[in-house]
Amino acid sequence: MNQAIANQATHYALVVKKDCPTCALIEPVIHSLANNETLSLKVYVQDDPSFPADIEDVIDDSSLEYSYQQEIEVVPTLIRLSDGNDAQSEESRIYGWDQKQWQNFTGIQELGAELIDFKPGCGSKTQDPGMDEVLALRFGKQILQARAVELAEAEDIMEACFERGWSDGLPVVPPTPLRVMRMLNGSDRDAAEIIGKVPPDNVPCSIEKIAINAVMAGCKPEYFPMVIASVEAALQDRFCMHGLLCTTYFSSPVMVVSGPVAKQIGMNSGINALGQGNRANATIGRALQLIIRNVGGGVPGGIDRANMGNPGKYTYCFAEDESDENWASLAMDRGFDRADSVISLFAGDGLQPILDQQSRTPQSLAKSMAMSLRSVAHTKLFGMADAILVVCPEHRRVFREGGWDKEDLRKALYEELMSPGTDIVRGANDIAEGMPEKFKDKILNKFRDDGLHIVTTGGTAGMFSAIIGGWVASGERGSQLVSTKL
């Protein structure tokens, strides 16, 4: 082809792969295009640069750089270019094999006349599972800003995470750039977005930093929006995360998840819901704890001064059982709709059982639960610690069969939890602990207004409910339950 003809030629780029039946089918068409003096063709092959045979301008794209930059989703893809020297000068494209379409697109009326009329293309190798993040790291814009940590060749990557203080005492998943990219793809939030400052060091926390710790916790990308929401909840002033870290008391963040998202990501709201065995429950709760440690500096023995702590400081996260549509969820108690996906955060302690296998009326069961609730923090300390009453499905059934809903239970508990000050002041019943003497002539309720929360979770067999006692700095002077909609 002489120079004058070349300057007038229409420029095309064709992306193919040998391991594609449609690309193999159109090999004669590729030769026809390559030998046509009215156009200029460059062929990019994703898997084998010897394909197609006997074509001069075949470019090895096994790195997939060109395919990624041109956003190739299907092979074969034929692109018409306005400038053969500029890969960004695309005018239009077609993909797969459609005889009439290719003839019209190239202006060659007999092109591929010997072939079948139509055959769909195959998926580009850029669409293989996991390749989006791999290629974004190789050829995309720089997304990750975190400092890269170089390890010695002989250094064990798992032990390196322990030695650098990134762990809560259990092994963590090494946060490689690829894993972090995949986690970030679980949300549409910008990696550089700062959502707030994490106590106790008040370090700015980006979505990327949350992703790094979500990886280490073992989260799947579909859990990531929940992890972000948990951090946003924890950073609310009403939750008082800094104070919760500093306390010598037992408390730590407890997450209660309500709404459709719980089932969508496979959370457990049934058998052993507050125990081990469910990845979503375990890792979402753990991710928040790691963020407080690794971003905010909340390290046990440092600012974290818990006298004993509790096992929930590893992870404390569960979903509500919302199978009874006539029983309001915790999220609905907080003003959300049942269709909303909501995470609620509570400063809570370990789990205290309530065993009642005999009550068959709402009245009896409410009195029984109230007696156990009196022991939160101390039976003589009133209005200091909030609590979550975890009602098991069988106990909920007792209430429902008796015609009660959650609000009926709440009112009955409030009435049962009233006590005269003379019984609970310091020194009463020969117990030094108790309420100050100024409350002697008052009638007190065990919990402040909005201090007792009710949720349902657990298996359908076993009449065992439970109490999650709150931090003794609950309420206006300390931590309050907070809820965030996803």
Distance of CA 68 to the CA centre of its chain: 27
Provide the residue type at 392 as one letter: C
Identify whether the C-beta of residue 151 lies closer than 8 Å to the C-beta of residue 157. Answer: yes
Q: Is the separation of the CB atoms in 456 and 393 below 8 Å?
A: yes
Task: Look at residue 85 in the predicted model and tell me its pLDDT.
Answer: 58
**Nearest CA among 223, 226, 129, 227 for reference residue 178:** 129
Amino acid at position 208, single letter: E
Ordered structural domains, the chain, with CATH = 3-139 (3.40.30.10), 158-485 (no CATH)
User: Rounded CA gap, 96 and 118, in Å?
Assistant: 8
- Residue ranges of alpha helices (H) inside 202-343 are 207-217, 224-234, 241-246, 261-264, 279-294, 330-333
Smallest CA-to-CA distance from 227 within 271, 267, 276 is with: 267
C-alpha separations of 205 from 66, 212, 477, 482 in Å: 35, 11, 26, 19
Three-state SS at 388: strand
Q: DSSP string of 312-372?
A: GGT--EEE-----TTS--HHHHTT--TTS-EEEEEEEEEEEEEE-SS--SHHHHHHHHHHH
Q: Is the peptide bond before 300 cis (omega within 30 degrees of 0)?
A: no
Give the chain's radius of gyration (CA, Å).
32
- Is there a contact between 478 and 471 (Cβ–Cβ < 8 Å)? yes
Q: 374 with 446: CB under 8 angstroms?
A: yes
**DSSP structural state of residue 479:** B
Rounded Cα–Cα distance for residues 229 and 143 (Å): 21
Cα distance between residue 27 and residue 16, in whole Å:
10
Q: At 469, is the secondary structure helix, strand, or coil? A: strand
Residue 418 tokens read as 């009233």
The alpha carbon dihedral of 269, 272, 274, 280 has a sign of negative
pLDDT of residue 5: 39
Contact present, 473 and 243 (Cβ < 8 Å):
yes
- Taken as a whole, the chain contains a residue count of 486
Tokens representing 258 are 């309500």
415: Cβ–Cβ under 8 A, 6 or more apart, which residues?
Answer: none
pLDDT string in tens for the chain (486-residue length): 333 334 467 899 999 999 999 999 999 999 999 999 889 999 999 999 999 998 888 999 999 999 999 999 999 999 999 875 555 689 999 999 999 999 999 999 999 999 999 999 999 999 999 899 999 999 988 888 888 888 888 889 889 999 999 999 999 999 999 999 999 999 999 999 999 999 999 999 999 999 999 999 999 999 999 999 999 999 999 999 999 999 999 999 999 999 999 999 999 999 999 999 999 999 999 999 999 999 999 998 888 889 999 999 999 999 999 999 999 999 999 999 999 999 999 999 999 999 999 999 999 999 999 999 999 999 999 999 999 999 999 999 999 999 999 999 999 999 999 999 999 999 999 999 999 999 999 999 999 999 999 999 999 999 999 999 999 998 877 899 999 999
Which residue type occupies 311?
A: P
Quote the pLDDT of residue 88: 63
**In sequence order, what are the beta bridge partners of 464?**
355
Residues 447 and 135: their CA atoms lie apart, in Å, by 55
CA 41 – CA 33 distance, rounded (Å): 7
Instruction: Supply 63's token pair.
Output: 């790195």
β-strand partners of 58: 43
> What one-character DSSP code corresponds to residue 439?
G
pLDDT for res 143: 84
8 A C-beta contact, residue 370 and residue 413: yes
Q: Which residues contact 397 (CB under 8 A, 6 or more apart)?
A: none
DSSP classification of residue 147: P
Q: Which of 119, 85, 87 is nearest to 102 (CA)?
A: 119
